[in-house]
Structure 1
């Protein structure tokens, strides 16, 4: 695609959460500090909420990589599980043998025994759930009961919830008041500012191997921030499309015209539409393909 054109080793704006591209912006650094501190002090429930695309999964993976060695982690990326399925998933993550064949009562006992065993070996156990807003009501209650497992001095299991704001709405309901009271630390991820967006773009380009002059000037970055609302996922989508257009046109600088085309073509991005989304999308794709064919014919 455009790797050779811009001297890149890899695509800088993929949507896959990759800690190789992690940038310690203020909101993510603060969230990471809250998480690590809370886990080290042995707190029961910790919650990190953020809008779609604000980097929760990337932060989750960063936490998994940053935890001290004495932590044992159970990671559940898709928690849309019934209570029994949740228990078995936790048991498997903790290394409980034959977890899929046991009765619920025996499974619960084996999980407790395993937690006590790990505690006796000097380990702290943390259960991390991504997309926690998808947990069914019964599973949220089962999760709360997990944290009843404790010694006289310490919880045997700590729980970290990464979730969209819908989780806060659910926890505000009367039926979840006991769980809400057990959340001792929480953090709300915010969107990026214009300065952070520019730093974010430059960082990802640098990590991907770019060594040339600035591609995305401050004016373009301001447009990207406004269109993406400072959401990293949308920033990635927009920047990827702009690089495609620039490559297709044989240019080495991102222009405002390219930014406008990418914004108009992207669902969820803010723009002042003058044409229908369908027409703009067709125009964008046609422009990219035609420009690449013409430019590529030169070589």
Structure 2
């Protein structure tokens, strides 16, 4: 609703991992550099861990986009809540292997092994990227280790990158996964943004969406969103999106502290000044603002 009001080409704070909005912030830049160096040097297992909303999936997609098709063959598993047999089948299908319904682990292993040899013979590095790796059953993680054993005399046949929440680290501490844990040669802990990073993040996404005039958010609004979100990009997106709705409904050209506070009150579980801000039983300020805005843009609409 508000893109035209703020002279934007698109919504700047969506929750989908659109790599056009990727910000080369310190943590994400360091993580991406680590991934690229580790893959280019032929490491077998690489791990990136971060809390919910810190941008792991965005980083994952960015990595996939940077791996050129001439040098790399990528296999992407976004939902790894699979038993070993289903995991092998998913990997085989991503490798272009035609699977039969009667195939089992042994058949998948043999087909995957053969396909990996062929791809490496063509000069490709095969990269298996698994997002939300903390959701994997322990037996499936062990099955991954067995795939990582595949190698020639000079190089690995497959390079595995795990993206996951901190629960992944706790899983890997289990004695049954100690062999896999020892094979992880590079890892990175992705943290939330600091204040400067949050401000740059907001300005970058605003500019990418087409903003080229006065800042969409006042300094007070930026300070408030940082305090409320603690620099977690997903929460920053939610609060900025809601506060832009409020500003649009009020006919304002910029989000200030009042509109940001309305967005915070509308978002359950956020804390500012030590007080918990939650949604009340009545319609929130943001919801009312959206309803008013709809009246302005939709002929015949009623509340």
The CA deviation at 1:255 is 1.4
Structure 1 residue 178 corresponds to structure 2 residue 160: no
Instruction: Choose 284-293 or 125-134, whichever is displaced more.
Output: 284-293
Residue 258 of structure 1 corresponds to 259
Tell me the residue number matched to 2:119: 118
Q: In structure 2, which of residues 269, 291, 303 is the aligned counterpart of residue 289 of structure 1? A: 291
Asked whether the 8 Å contact 1:264–1:271 carries over to 2, the reply is no
- In terms of fraction of residues, the more helix-rich structure is 1
Give the stretch that moved more between structures: 68-77 or 25-34: 68-77
Q: Which is worse superposed, 103-112 or 7-16? A: 103-112
Match of 1:149 in 2: 150
TM alignment of 1:143-292, pairs within 5 A = 143-271=144-272, 273=275, 277-279=279-281, 282-290=284-292
Cα pair distance change 1:103/1:296, threshold 3 Å = closer
Unaligned runs of 5+ in 1: none
Equivalent-residue separation in structure 2 for 1:112 and 1:161 (angstroms): 20
SS in 2 for 1:230: coil
Task: Describe the SS at the equivalent of 1:270.
Answer: strand
Q: 2-side partners of 1:152 and 1:116: how far apart?
A: 12
The match for 2:50 is: 50
What secondary structure, in the 3-state scheme, does the structure 2 residue paired with 1:160 have?
strand
- The reply to whether residue 34 of structure 1 matches residue 44 of structure 2 is no
Question: Matched residues in 2 for 1:54 and 1:282: separation?
Answer: 27
Distance 1:53 1:138 in 2: 27
Q: Indicate the larger mover: 116-125 or 128-137.
A: 116-125
SS of aligned partner of 1:145: helix
Q: Describe how 1:20-31 pairs up with structure 2 within 5 A.
A: 20-31=20-31
| Cα contact 2:270–2:278 (8 A) shared by 1 | no
Which has the larger displacement, 100-109 or 288-297? 288-297
Q: Alpha-carbon deviations, 1:136-191, whole Å to 9, x = none? A: 01101101111111111111111000000110111112121111100000001110
1:82-107 CA distance string (max 9 Å, x none): 00000000001111123544232122
- Name the CA distance, whole Å, in 1 between partners of 2:267 and 2:5: 24
Q: Which residue of 2 aligns with 1:138?
A: 139
Partner of 1:85 in structure 2? 86
CA contact (8 A) 2:269 2:278 kept: no
Report which stretch shifted further, 241-250 or 205-214.
Answer: 205-214
Contact map agreement 2:44 2:184 (CA 8 A) in 1: yes
CA distance in structure 1 between the partners assigned to 2:295 and 2:191 by the alignment = 41
TM-score between both structures, scaled by the size of structure 2? 0.93
Give the C-alpha shift of residue 293 in structure 1: 3.2
CA offsets 1:21-79 (integer angstroms, 9 cap, x no match): 11101111100000010001111100000011111111101101101331111100000
* More deviation, 282-291/206-215: 282-291
The residue number in structure 2 matching 1:109 is: 110
Distance between the aligned counterparts of 1:209 and 1:237, measured in 2? 19
Residue 203 to residue 151, structure 1, CA distance change in 2 (3 Å): same
Distance 2:282 2:30 in 1: 39
2:267 and 2:278 in contact (8 A); partners too: no
Q: Secondary structure at the match of 1:159?
A: strand
For 1:131 and 1:274, locate their aligned partners in 2 and report how far apart those are by CA, in whole Å.
Answer: 29
Mapped partners of 1:153, 1:207: distance in 2: 44
